[in-house]
Copies of this chain bind each other. A is one copy, B any other.
Amino acid sequence: MTVDASAFLARWHRVVAEKNLGALGDILALDVTLGAPPYWTKLQGRDVVRHLLGIIITIVEDFTYRREWISGSDLALEFTGHVGDRELQGVDLVTLDGDGRVCNIDVMIRPINALIALRDSVAPRMAEFLS
């Protein structure tokens, strides 16, 4: 089956621009996994992944997608933004399932000071959500 990655990308951009968590859930597979920038062990499940992505696109200011690559059902999406006065550059590596939903997303960010600032902002909110 061919996945329409371009159609997915249009939905993804709309969701991120609108910070629309309901619509974000619709484009995540139920058992989606996410490799977060600070940790090796992946998060799993639509609710927790949606919550984390929602926090990230809220905390990273001026979140803007830059270069994008599509190869079959795999995408690489570069983004920039800042956390306070710490500029950052990052990449989402996204894999779509046969239904065009995200089944895995790995996120990498540079530099360290922005990554740590992001982690320190996200961690308490995720702990609250998970408790």
SS of A interface (majority): strand
Check A89/B108 contact, CB under 8 A, given A69-B69, A69-B70, A74-B69.
Answer: yes
Check A93/B78 contact, CB under 8 A, given A40-B87, A67-B71, A69-B70.
Answer: yes
* Contacting residue for A109 out of B75, B108, B113, CB 8 A: B108
Residue-wise, chain A 69-99 has the 8 Å CB interface mask toward B (1 for contact) of 1110011101000000011011101000000
Chain B residues with CB under 8 Å of A71's CB are 67-69
The interface-forming segment of A20-28, A31-39, A45-53 is A31-39
How far apart are the CA atoms of A71 and B68 in the complex, in Å? 8
Count residues of chain A with CB under 8 A from any CB of chain B.
33
Copies in the complex: 2
**A110 with B107: CB separation less than 8 A:** yes
How far apart are the CA atoms of A110 and B108 in the complex, in Å? 6
How far apart are the CA atoms of A89 and B105 in the complex, in Å? 12
Question: A119 an interface residue at 8 Å Cβ cutoff?
Answer: yes
* Contacting residue for A112 out of B37, B75, B87, B91, CB 8 A: B37
